[in-house]
Structure formats: structure tokens, C-alpha cells
Amino acid sequence: MNYQIEKNGNPFEIKEKKLQKGKWARVITFLMLLFFSIFALVPFYFMLVSSFKPGSELIRYGINLKLQPEIMSLKNYFLLFTGKEGIYLHWYKNSVLITFFQTLVAVFLSAAVGYGLAIYRFRGRNLIFITVLIVMMVPIEILMLPLYELIVRLRIIDTYAGVILPFAVPPFAVFFFRQYALGLPRDLLDAGRIDGCSEYGIYFKIMMPLMKPAFGAIIILQAMFSWNSLVWPLIALRSNEHMTLPIGLSSLITPYGHNYDMLMAGAVLSVLPIIIIYILNQKAFISGLTIGAIKE
Amino acid sequence: MSKMKKTLVSSFFSSPKIAPYVFVAPFILFFLVCYVYPFIKTIEMSMEQIFGFNDVTFIGFDNYRRLNNVHFFNALKTTTAYTFWTIMVLIPLPIILAVLLNNPATKGKSFFKSALFMPALTSVIVAGIFFRYSFGEQATTLVNAITGLFGMEPRIWLQERGSAMFALVVLCTWRWLGVNIVYFLSGLQAIPQELYEAAAIDGANAWDRFFQITLPHLKPVIIYVVTISIHGGYSMFAESFAYWQTHTPGDIGMTIVSYLYQMGFNDFDMGFASAIGVTLLFIVMVVNLIQLTVMGFFKKEVN
């Protein structure tokens, strides 16, 4: 950490010893970051390599990172389409549709709520905002039994609607949109009113376009959350054809028939779309996360 | 006539007095349906013996008395230990890595940042597939092979209490390290650079600068990360599910939410499972309050 000043061209004299120390610090920094990056990436590499090998290899030898061209093929990927009557395709379709609808509903509703809380002064505004903050603190897992009872009563068990309902207006997204909308120019509100726009016209035609970066960040975060979510879909979905990818894949973990062949290839294809979106759009992933950490 | 009525209605809804309520209505409705109703319902259920939705008897606090059993205490211990260890690892380690990444002299930063964040993109199940087999029992599996290099005997990692906890914390670290690094990096970038320059002129060394400037300025971010770690730790279920599904031999790796899930959805003992849920909510609230008080969160609000 010593070299920071030297690098910045600090006018103070640089001693030979200090330079030497800086070099070592740099090497250790590099090695540490390299170690943890390898730790982060090895599972991805393993999954990719294993997805081309027969599942029996994994059962017999456990984790094996070697490339073995003699036993590698695309067979597992073909099996995803044909194995178990193509159930994998059902899971994929369910995951895509649930992610799409959940994100659409969550973003549309929470943006409106966040905007309303930020722009207008009205009775109950603070109470509602405090409620949003408190709800953010309550783990939804605690309520999974009564929510299960609720979707049974509403007859939406084992449907997409049942999966979406408890996440229809995610408090974290409301919080994010409110923080963002606080920065919108309020003069536009008055200008819009003078031009004869209704309050909703102002929101949809003037303000929403200005909130585009916020929409980008929340769409990505919410989509990632929906795509990967496990606990609630596990409860809300009952039949095998209605399962999503995480639940479907977890049901393949038992070494039976061609399960393992499908497991690895299936896992790779389930991660792939998110990694592609991430590589194309890293900034949006990160800006969505950090809003919570730095308040005010 | 009807046209006039229509314009009256629409002008009512679009008046600046009413519009804010229309905007926030989705949240109010959502809060009532998905939080208030379930919350009241779960308290009611926790005082009932339930055999199916139409066969219900009121039994008072009996379900809470039944919490005094060895499985619940095992689950409570596991969950508390898991929360404790994830905080012990996932605060200091990402702070160190964020400081290293924030240094202008560090090479290959954008690669490291992208690589470290990648695990956060996966589902627990996908991560679990890898770690399940890494912690497998044969001597050739990844973790046994690594510990073997240091002359240690192969272990049955996922069947012993201590090593099972280790496996859970490793899985959690893998998935969340990058996310916490992002939080701390954003905190570091908010620290004014002049503070460091002034300190350097005063002759402060790197340690002084870290403890006198960096850490105090990261405090709000640390509070935030501890809060979400308590939230995530006490409601953890997916990681345990990825390793052991819902059957855990000898309660190993069983968290409070796994216990709730087992009781509610495997044994259909809905009343007792609700009592577990209400107790967990109470625990999370108390732990959060203690944490925020200790960290001096409320003191700051008063000033």
C-alpha cells in the first residue's frame, strides 16, 4: 500500500528500500487476487469440462478437471432434448417465462411506487416508506407457510401467478426507484402540468424516459434473482412439467439413469444466458447492487 | 350523461391530490396481501393443531412449548454458527480484496473484478453441484486431495458437524465474495483522496492510514453488509438444500428454515412449523436490533 503515493508522483524522495517493498507488495497483491479469482472461476471450468464427459465419470472419479478428448462429446447436450421426454425444455421454458413475467410485473409496479414516494408529498408518505424499509428486513422464508396457504386458497398453486405473487412489488426495487427518482428535476412536473399533461402522462411521457438507467439496473437484478430463485418456486410449483431450472436440476442430483449426463450440460445452459448478459452489461449489474450500500 | 360521469371519474383519479395514492397503491395492496395477512395467519396457525385446512383445533402455546426439543436447538446452533462464520469471513476478506483492487498500481483489475463477481450470477443449485462433489468422501475428491497434500487423512466432509459447517461457509463465500467486494469498493471510492495525501505528509504509514481513515469511512457499508448477512444467514435454506436436500442425517447442516420446511411441507405439521417461523422472525428482529445498537446506528440518527 506504500507505493500508492510514489505512483502518484509524490514529490517526496523515494528511498531505494521503499521501492523494493513496493515491488513485493505488488507481487503479493497480484497473487492474492489471482488465488481468489481462480477459486471463483474453477467451478465454471469444471462444469464446462464435465458437461462433455459421460456422467458415469463423475460418479466414479468425482471432480476431475482434466480435458480428455477421447471421452468428450456433445452427447449430453443432445440428451437434454430427448432425455426424460424433453423435460429439460419444459424447465427452461418455465424459467424463461417466469423470469420474464416476474421482472415485468415487479419493475412496472415498483417503479410507480418508488416514483410516487419520491415526487409527491402526501399524507402517509413517510409511513409507507418506513413500511418499505421494515419489509426489506423481514425474510420472506418466515412467511412461506401462510403464503403457501394463501396461494392454495386463491387456487394459483402450481401456476406462474403463484410464483410471482409474493414478489410482485419487491421492496428493494421500490427503495431503489425512490432513491433514483429523488434526483429527477421537479420543474418538469410543473412544466408538464402547464402543458396540460395529466399526472400519469407526466410519469409515462416525461419522467419514465429519464429513469431509464434505473430501469436497466433493476431489470437485470430482478431477472437474475428470478432466474436463480429456488426456495419459493420449490413450494409454489408441484408438478414436474411446471418446475423451473434450479428445481429441475436439483432433482437430477440423484445418480439414477442418465441424470448426471443431463445435470452438467443442463447446468451449463442454465448459467450461460446470465453470463452473456453480464459480459455485455457489467455496469448495470453493479450499479443496481450498490444503491443499497450508500444511502443519502 | 355517461360521458360526463366518465370525465368526472377520470378527473378525480388524475387530480394531483389523488394521483400519489394511485402510484403507491400497488405496494399497499401487496403489503396487505403478502405480508399483513400471512403474518396474522402464521400467528394464528402457530396456536393451532392443523390436520389439513379444514381440521383445525386451537391449542394455545403448545406448539411453542414443543420448540424445546433437541432438533430445534441443533437448527438454532447451526444457523447462528453459520451467520457468525459468514460474517467473520465475508467482511474482512472482501475489505482486503477491495483495498487491493482500489489501488491504482494493481495490474489486471478489470479482469479480477469480473472474475470475482461471476459466482454471484449462478443459482445455489449450480454452485452446490460443484461443491457437493468437491467435498465428496473418496480420497480422490478435490478437497480431500488438497488436504492430502498437507498430510491430512481424507474426511467425510458433509457428514461431520464441524466440516459440514466449513463446507457451507465455503459455498457462501464463493457466491457472495464478489458482491461484498463491490459494496466495499463503492465505499472506498467515496473516501476523499486528500485525506490519504494529508496523512502521508503527516508521516502515517499504510497501517495507520487503513485503520484511521479507511475503516472508519467504511463503517456505513460495514453496517449494511452485516445487516444483510444477518438477514441472509438466519433465513438460509438453499445452501443446505443444495448439499443435503431435505434429509439431513443427525440434523447436520439443518437450519431453522430447513426445519420449518421439513415440519411444514414433509410432515405437514403446519401449526408447529408456524411456531418455528414466528420464533425465527423474533430472533432476526432481536439480533438486528442488538447489531444496530452495538454499531452505533441509532446514536448517529439522534445527532
Q: Quick check: is A296 in a domain?
A: no
Long-range contacts for A91-96 (Cβ within 8 Å, ≥24 apart)?
A91/A243, A91/A244, A91/A245, A91/A247, A91/A248, A91/A249, A92/A245, A92/A269, A92/A270, A94/A160, A94/A237, A94/A242, A94/A243, A94/A244, A94/A245, A95/A227, A95/A244, A95/A245, A95/A246, A95/A270
Best mutation target among A123, A142, A190 (most B Cβ atoms within 10 Å) is A142
Using the predicted structure, report yes or no on whether residue A60 has a pLDDT greater than 60. yes
Q: Kindly tell me if the per-residue pLDDT of A196 is higher than 90.
A: no
Of the residues A14, A24, A26, A33, the best mutation for testing chain B's interface (the one with the most B CB atoms within 10 Å of its CB) is: A33
Q: Which of A26, A230, A263 sits opposite B238 (nearest CB)?
A: A230
Could you tell me if A199 and A85 lie in one domain? yes
Q: What are phi and psi of B298, to 5 degrees?
A: -75, -30
| Residue to substitute from B15, B22, B24, interface A, most A β-carbons within 10 A | B24
- Do A72 and A200 belong to one domain? no
- Per-residue DSSP letter, A15: P
Say how many C-beta atoms besides its own lie within 10 A of residue B189's C-beta.
12
Which of A32-36, A75-79, B7-11, B121-125 is predicted least confidently? B7-11
Residues A65 and A182 in one domain: no
Q: For residues A94 and B268, give the distance between their C-alpha atoms in angstroms, rounded to a whole number.
A: 27
Q: What are B151's three cell numbers?
A: 498430510
- A213/A138 same-domain check: yes
Q: Which of A27-31, A257-261, B226-230, B285-289 has the lowest average pLDDT? A: A257-261
Number of domains chain A contains? 2
**Which of A102-106, A238-242, B122-126 is predicted most confidently?**
A102-106
Residue A7 has pLDDT above 80, yes or no: no
B89 to A226, B7, B95, B125, B180: CA distances (angstroms): 27, 61, 10, 22, 11
The DSSP result for A158-173, as a single string, is: TSHHHHHGGGSS-HHH
Q: How far is A134 from chain B (nearest CA, A)?
A: 10
Q: What is the pLDDT of residue A19?
A: 60
Beta bridge partners of B56: B50
Domain CATH code at residue A164:
1.10.3720.10
Closest CA to A244 of A122, A89, A116, A129: A89
> How far does A246 lie from chain B, in Å, by closest CA?
6
* Chain B nearest CA to A140, separation (Å): 8
**C-alpha separations of A169 from A112, A145, A203, B28, B161 in Å:** 10, 19, 18, 10, 39
| Enclosing domain of residue A71 | 3-77
- Answer with the one of A56, A77, A98 that is the final residue of a domain: A77
Task: Give yes or no: residues A221 and A153 share one domain.
Answer: yes
Residue A47 and residue A101 in one domain = no
Compare all CA atoms of chain A with the CA of B264 and give the residue at the minimum distance: A145
Asked whether residue A293 carries a pLDDT value surpassing 80, the answer given is no
In a domain, A295, yes or no: no
User: What is the CATH code for B63-302?
Assistant: 1.10.3720.10
Is the confidence at residue A247, as pLDDT, over 50? yes
Q: Are A116 and B24 within 8 A, CB to CB?
A: yes
* Residues whose CB is less than 8 angstroms from the CB of residue A181 and which lie 6 or more positions away in sequence, other chains included: A114, A115, A117, A118, A119, A207, A211, A214
| In contact, A30 and B107? CB cutoff 8 Å | yes
Distance CA A21, CA A15 (A): 10
Residue A157 carries which side chain, given as an amino acid letter?
I
Residues 149-168 of A with CB under 8 A from B: 149-150, 152, 165-166, 168
Element spanning A35, H or E: helix A16-50
Mark which of A50, A77, A104 sits at the end of a domain: A77
Nearest to A120 among B20, B39, B231 (CB): B20
Task: Taking residues A163-182, report their average pLDDT.
Answer: 93
Percent of chain A with pLDDT over 70: 89
pLDDT of res. A1:
42
Judge: A146–B42 Cβ closer than 8 Å, yes or no: yes
| Contact residues, chain A, for B125 at CB < 8 Å | 230, 246-247, 249-250, 267
Which residues of chain B have a pLDDT value below 50? 1, 301-303
Question: In this complex, do B118 and A1 lie within 8 Å of one another by their Cβ atoms?
Answer: no
Contact criterion met (CB < 8 Å) for A146 and B138: no
pLDDT band at residue A17, thresholds of 50, 70 and 90?
low
- What pTM, to 2 d.p., does this model score? 0.87
Name which residue leads in pLDDT, B115 or A64.
Answer: B115
B17 to A43: CB separation less than 8 angstroms, yes or no: no
- For B252-284, what is each residue's pLDDT tens digit? 889 999 999 999 988 889 999 999 999 999 998
Taking a contact as any Cβ pair under 8 Å apart, which residues of chain A between 92 and 151 contact chain B? 109-110, 112-113, 115-117, 119-120, 122, 125, 128, 131-132, 135, 137-150
Residue A44 lies in a domain: yes
